[in-house]
Amino acid sequence: MTRRVKVEIEGTVQGVGFRPTVYRYARRHSLNGLVQNHTGGVVIDVEGADASIQAFLSELERQPPAQASIENMRVKDLVPCNYAGFEIEPSAEDGPKQLSIPPDLALCGDCRAEFFDSDNRRYRYPFINCTNCGPRYSIIYDPPYDRPRTSMANFSMCGTCRSEYTDPMDRRFDAQPNACFECGPALALLDSEGNALDGDPMKRTVELLRGGKIGIVKGLGGYHLCCLATDEEVVGRLRARKKRPHKAFAVMFATVDEVNEHCVLSEHAEAELTSATAPIVILPRRAHSTMADNVSPDTADIGAFLSYTPLHALLLQELSPLIMTSANLTDEPIAKERVEAGALLSSVGDFLLDHDRPIVRRCDDSVMRISPKNRIVMRRSRGLVPQALKLPFSGPVVLACGGDLKNTFALAHADRIILSPYIGDLSEYQTYAAFTDTVRDFKRIFQQQPEVIAYDLHPDYVSTRYAEENQNGMTGVRVQHHHAHIASCMAEHGLTGDVIGVALDGTGYGPDHTLWGGEFLHADYRDFERVAHLSPYPLPGGEAAVQNPLRMAFSVLVTDFGEEAAYRMFGSRLSKQETDTLSRMIAQGLNTFSTSSAGRIFDAVSALLGLCDGEVTYEGQAAVRLEQSAWRDDTADSYRFELVRAHDRVLLSLKDMFSGVCRDMERGLECGRIAAMVHNTLAEAVTEVCVQIRGRSDTDRVVLSGGVFQNALLLEKVQTRLQERGLRVYAHRVVPPNDGGISLGQAAIAAARWYADSNGRKEER
């Protein structure tokens, strides 16, 4: 007896070869009907023997295409209608546009094999791709995802490519960027003046790089600066030209084996590295690695990734490892247009390896740190964006503007939320322009008109001003920075109800007009209570003290032990004039803010230990050096700390820790031991505060967030101790603990308040 069912599937099912897979499975089980893309999913209408339908559905669930994920599958019986065969229907042209745009995917195994097969017609073709791999997000002008709406529109397919493209049994069926030597994009090489160079562009590129030149190479979501990673001299030149003296450069490798030669590669890290996302993974460097030391002068780690496009594979096959770092000037957005890349010629790069497939949207490489316990995403961008995340509840359409540093914004709709790629530091004009462009672009491609706009409480954030100037009838919701951090981690884990939120962070604006950043919040999505925080210190000169950690160290010593002790400890490390000015600023409160920031505590310790004299050259540098220097064995002890009850909350005083650090320095104890003890102290202090809070609230769930939790050593110590005391611990795995994650938290909070309001419960502050 014939049965007919309609199957509605939601999840990541578009642009990942889902329909051809359905087609193949249906044919295999002798079923007729059709499959079609639909808003947010795929619809299958299929008929045949009941047992065959069952087998078909279970095969689809068990073995969906590699890059697909099925979130929801609804099956409904229909009256049979005698379909004559099985067909793939084109995407519906009218109806509402698809909310689903797939991320860019790294070169797949099948394409890699063809790419290296001298008998294949795409042997060494730098733009080979198929339904399972290749560019997506970075080439789509407009959804739905079809070739005429991509930057491949101007390449018309040759006969062979077209027959692959139209054959449902072919791996390249409906692969929008499908191309070959005959019909697709091609490489071009330009010299430092922008003049075309003759000869095979790839061959010449390899020669130039081998000769110690710095190249600009067009990638997937932008251009990279590229040079030999084993040549100290050229790496130094790149640092000087890019004005980036210390921050680590990412290194691209040809193969996993090669990564393994230079880095310690765990099973977990390898899985990330070889995934379709192909992020930069920060790995411990092996002692015998021949990598130039100035690739990552501050750490014993290497940010490694694999050649993720065929163009990279071609290059790296000849020459590996290579530095591949975003082509831009510090803090500006990654270059994506030829004119932008051209502007970097002669000043930064010596030549340009270009091609003629336009990049529609910018997308930096994603970055993560992997340990057996944790997956710390430091930048969520290429390969992950614009994959939707799920909110634990349904809300209105929300635009969440994020923060000013490491900016991402988010667009939420019902229970789905899409985070933007990494945008960067909004105080830089070019970056701010990229922010406003990308917001406009997201509203257009995802067809959403926000009803609510969420943004930070900080009155001077550029993102705050943007939100206030562009409100246009939207309801504005202001969200405290650390509440947003905690809510982002809650949302990621689908937590509802209340939690103990620990936000260890740089700085964020508090409703009391001081700068917060070492916060213990009893929080749910709608609201929070600040139940404990670090004892505040003065931040003399505000941003100036963030730039120069010695100023912070001096401030801590003056506050805890008086001027005399501070002068004695500092000796000649700050000039007399500087210390005098600082003392006066602190004493009189001149241009000095009070801060409970945990990040500034790490700065102060790092400076005290002599790990950073002078200005930092990137955000978090002092803390990175402190974490690096800390001994990894468990022999280190910890310092004392004090919990002081003040009014309605608890203050965590680290005065005893700082006096211990000073004493141990005078005793000549090794820096690494002191650094380890400081990590232990903070982990114990955080745990003790959480245990006290549990006594007063009903929850045993602790949520960890804030930029300080990029410190893997601290994170693990905190997790272990909290678990030992019977608390349940949640750390970020999907979005960054740094400010790249707060747009998610802002959106969750705005949606929750909107929901509460619309249900008539007026408990808002």
CB of 387: closest distance to Zn ion in angstroms? 19
Q: Binding to Zn ion by residue 130, rule CB under 5 A? A: yes
CB of 131: closest distance to Zn ion in angstroms? 7
Helix (H) or strand (E) holding 41: strand 41-49
Which token pair is 182?
Answer: 């005959």
Measured from the CB atom, is 73 or 158 closer to Zn ion?
A: 158
What are residue 250's DSSP bridge partners?
303
Residue (of 96, 45, 750) closest to 467 by Cα position:
750
CB of 318 closer than 8 Å to CB of 201: no
Among 49, 158, 319, 756, interactor with Zn ion by CB under 5 A: 158
CB of 123: closest distance to Zn ion in angstroms? 14
CB of 677: closest distance to Fe ion in angstroms? 26
With CB under 5 to 8 Å by kind, the binding choice for 425 among Zn ion, Fe ion, none is none
CB of 527 closer than 8 Å to CB of 608: no
Q: Which of residues 491-520 bind Fe ion (CB under 5 A)?
A: 505
CB of 183: closest distance to Zn ion in angstroms? 3
Among 43, 49, 180, 319, interactor with Zn ion by CB under 5 A: 180
Residues 145-164: x/- map of binding to Fe ion (CB under 5 A)?
A: --------------------
With CB under 5 to 8 Å by kind, the binding choice for 505 among Fe ion, Zn ion, none is Fe ion
Q: Which of residues 540-599 bind Fe ion (CB under 5 A)?
A: none
Among 133, 229, 254, 714, interactor with Zn ion by CB under 5 A: 133
Measured from the CB atom, is 48 or 403 closer to Fe ion?
A: 403
CB of 226: closest distance to Zn ion in angstroms? 24
State how far Cα 475 lies from the chain centre: 28
With CB under 5 to 8 Å by kind, the binding choice for 364 among Zn ion, Fe ion, none is none
Helix (H) or strand (E) holding 419: strand 410-419
Measured from the CB atom, is 505 or 603 closer to Fe ion?
A: 505
Measured from the CB atom, is 105 or 674 closer to Zn ion?
A: 105
Cα(714)–Cα(707) distance, rounded to whole angstroms?
12
CB of 594 closer than 8 Å to CB of 545: no
Among 182, 233, 637, 642, interactor with Zn ion by CB under 5 A: 182
With CB under 5 to 8 Å by kind, the binding choice for 130 among Zn ion, Fe ion, none is Zn ion
Measured from the CB atom, is 64 or 736 closer to Fe ion?
A: 736
Q: Which 3 state secondary structure label does DSSP give 114? A: helix
Among 174, 354, 456, 739, interactor with Fe ion by CB under 5 A: 739
Number of residues this chain uses to bind Fe ion (CB under 5 A): 2
Measured from the CB atom, is 184 or 403 closer to Zn ion?
A: 184
With CB under 5 to 8 Å by kind, the binding choice for 627 among Zn ion, Fe ion, none is none
With CB under 5 to 8 Å by kind, the binding choice for 615 among Zn ion, Fe ion, none is none
Q: Which of residues 110-129 bind Zn ion (CB under 5 A)?
A: 111
Task: Tell me which stretch binds Zn ion (CB under 5 A): 105-113, 427-435, 537-545, 637-645.
Answer: 105-113
Measured CA to CA in angstroms, residue 320 lies from 56, 294, 323, 350 at distances of 45, 17, 9, 19
Task: Tell me which stretch binds Zn ion (CB under 5 A): 53-61, 158-166, 230-238, 415-423.
Answer: 158-166
With CB under 5 to 8 Å by kind, the binding choice for 426 among Fe ion, Zn ion, none is none
Biggest CA-to-CA distance, the chain? 94
Cα(462)–Cα(429) distance, rounded to whole angstroms?
10
Q: Binding to Fe ion by residue 350, rule CB under 5 A? A: no
Q: Considering just the CA atoms, what is the radius of gyration of the chain in Å?
A: 27
Cα(284)–Cα(370) distance, rounded to whole angstroms?
10
Which token pair is 91?
Answer: 């995407």
State how far Cα 205 lies from the chain centre: 30
Place of tokens 């991402």: 408
Task: Tell me which stretch binds Zn ion (CB under 5 A): 9-17, 64-72, 181-189, 223-231.
Answer: 181-189
Cα(441)–Cα(222) distance, rounded to whole angstroms?
17
Q: Binding to Zn ion by residue 106, rule CB under 5 A? A: no
Measured from the CB atom, is 332 or 739 closer to Fe ion?
A: 739
Measured from the CB atom, is 108 or 623 closer to Zn ion?
A: 108
Length of the chain: 765
Task: Tell me which stretch binds Fe ion (CB under 5 A): 192-200, 606-614, 638-646, 738-746.
Answer: 738-746
With CB under 5 to 8 Å by kind, the binding choice for 174 among Fe ion, Zn ion, none is none
Q: Which residues contact 7 (CB under 8 A, 6 or more apart)?
A: 43, 44, 45, 46, 57, 73, 74, 75, 76
Q: Which residues contact 501 (CB under 8 A, 6 or more apart)?
A: 482, 483, 485, 486, 489, 490, 519, 520, 521, 522, 523, 528, 702, 703, 705
Q: Binding to Zn ion by residue 183, rule CB under 5 A? A: yes
Cα(602)–Cα(570) distance, rounded to whole angstroms?
17
With CB under 5 to 8 Å by kind, the binding choice for 89 among Fe ion, Zn ion, none is none
Q: Which of residues 365-424 bind Zn ion (CB under 5 A)?
A: none
Please provide the DSSP assignment of 328-360 as one string.
Answer: SSTTSPPP-SHHHHHHHBTTTBSEEEEESS---
Whose CB is nearest to Fe ion?
505
Measured from the CB atom, is 182 or 460 closer to Zn ion?
A: 182
Q: What's 420's DSSP letter?
A: P
Task: Tell me which stretch binds Zn ion (CB under 5 A): 159-167, 262-270, 330-338, 701-709.
Answer: 159-167
Cα(322)–Cα(235) distance, rounded to whole angstroms?
10
CB of 57: closest distance to Fe ion in angstroms? 45
Q: Binding to Zn ion by residue 66, rule CB under 5 A? A: no
CB of 509: closest distance to Fe ion in angstroms? 10
Cα(603)–Cα(619) distance, rounded to whole angstroms?
11
Measured CA to CA in angstroms, residue 611 lies from 58, 234, 293, 370 at distances of 58, 26, 18, 25
CB of 192 closer than 8 Å to CB of 344: no
Measured from the CB atom, is 182 or 642 closer to Zn ion?
A: 182
Write the secondary structure of 177-236 as one string of H (helix), E (strand) and C (coil): CCCCCCCCCCEEEECCCCCECCCCHHHHHHHHHHCCCCEEEECCCCEEEEEECCCHHHHH
Measured from the CB atom, is 10 or 739 closer to Fe ion?
A: 739
Task: Tell me which stretch binds Zn ion (CB under 5 A): 119-127, 130-138, 430-438, 635-643.
Answer: 130-138
Among 31, 161, 479, 678, interactor with Zn ion by CB under 5 A: 161
Measured from the CB atom, is 155 or 537 closer to Zn ion?
A: 155
With CB under 5 to 8 Å by kind, the binding choice for 739 among Zn ion, Fe ion, none is Fe ion
With CB under 5 to 8 Å by kind, the binding choice for 385 among Fe ion, Zn ion, none is none
First to last CA, the chain: 63
Write the secondary structure of 444-481 as one string of H (helix), E (strand) and C (coil): HHCCCCCCEEEEECCCCCHHHHHHHHCCCCCEEEEECH
Cα(255)–Cα(246) distance, rounded to whole angstroms?
27
Q: Which residues of 209-225 are buried (b: 16+ CB within 10 A; e: fewer)?
A: beeebbbbbbbbbbbbb
Measured from the CB atom, is 180 or 669 closer to Zn ion?
A: 180
Task: Tell me which stretch binds Zn ion (CB under 5 A): 180-188, 192-200, 385-393, 728-736.
Answer: 180-188
With CB under 5 to 8 Å by kind, the binding choice for 183 among Fe ion, Zn ion, none is Zn ion
Q: Which of residues 618-657 bind Zn ion (CB under 5 A)?
A: none
Q: Phi first, then psi: what are they for 18, rounded to 5°?
A: -75, -50
Binding residues (CB under 5 A) for Zn ion: these are 108, 111, 130, 132-133, 158, 161, 180, 182-183
Binding site for Fe ion (CB under 5 A): 505, 739
